[in-house]
Amino acid sequence: MVYCPKCGALNDGGSVFCQRCGGPLNSPPEPVEPVKRAPAVWNQTPFDRTFKVGGPLLKSFLGIIFVLLVMEIFEALSSESVFADGFSKLLGDTLILFFLVFLLAFYFGYYSRKYPKETAIVSPLVTAVIATFVLWLVSRTFDLLGEARSDSFLSAMGEMVYSVLYIIFLLIILLGYIGVIMKAGRFVPPVQQGPVPPPPMAPANASVPHKRMCRSNRDRILMGVCGGMAEYLDTDPFLVRVLWVVGVILTSGVLILAYLILAIIMPKCL
């Protein structure tokens, strides 16, 4: 038996309309308002959650302080080396450019972790700009080394890298947007579920899977090594990258080989 929601009359269980007033017995479902998706807090680092939108600005200033430190070191060696003098002047002339690139990289990283789906459309463009700037810096370093050592091979390497900058820029954008198109519609944010009952107690002698270091999928710039180390150590990836850069400078580039070895032997996070 079914009561009519309009007049309250009692009707048979299989009735669709009320026998007294003719109204429908099953009221239409209430419209459901769309739920606004919350920011992807599961992707944010402890640094992001602590400093929020001011974190990337703080990282940019820390990056500029590091560049100033390197510039002062090379300037102190300028009397002993022509390359050191030229490199310190190069850093001094490009400080504003360094600051803008830091702002772009860190703010993009912050918002890509917070809104990964919305920022995916500009990811190839930002990556191309940053990679082009790094390669331009590499080409200028080759030029300075070639001039300081009178080495035509190094000068030719600098000219070669500089000449293919626009090709690399376009290639990164093309491949990046191909990846964005192929991944469109595959992003599914995790579903917020209610409280679940605690799992049953495991036996005392049961083996617990240990935490392993792997290359990060969500916080990566170059193969995800630093991001994976930061996740393993539960620290901010920016600090890990700064330590790697300092180590590369102090070891005259030896850590670059170690980084490549780690990128090969470290598994990719699932």
Q: Which residue has the tokens 């360094």?
A: 98
3-state secondary structure of 3: strand
**Contact yes or no for 145/154 (Cβ under 8 A):** yes
Q: For 205-226, give the DSSP string.
A: TPPPPPP---B-SSS-SSTTHH
How many percent of the chain have pLDDT more than 70? 79
Distance of alpha carbon 107 from alpha carbon 98, whole angstroms: 14
Who wins on pLDDT, 34 or 81? Answer: 81
Summarised one tens digit per residue, pLDDT across range 145-201 is: 999 888 898 899 889 989 999 998 998 888 888 877 877 655 445 555 555 555 666
Which of 238, 214, 240, 230 shows the shortest CA–CA distance to 109? 238
Distance of alpha carbon 255 from alpha carbon 225, whole angstroms: 13
Tell me the pTM.
0.58
Distance of alpha carbon 116 from alpha carbon 184, whole angstroms: 12
**Contact yes or no for 217/269 (Cβ under 8 A):** yes
Distance of alpha carbon 57 from alpha carbon 65, whole angstroms: 12
Summarised one tens digit per residue, pLDDT across range 102-161 is: 999 999 989 988 888 888 889 889 988 998 999 999 999 999 999 988 889 889 988 998
Residue 268 pairs with which residues in a beta bridge? Answer: 215
**Contact yes or no for 1/10 (Cβ under 8 A):** yes
State yes or no: pLDDT of 100 exceeds 90.
yes
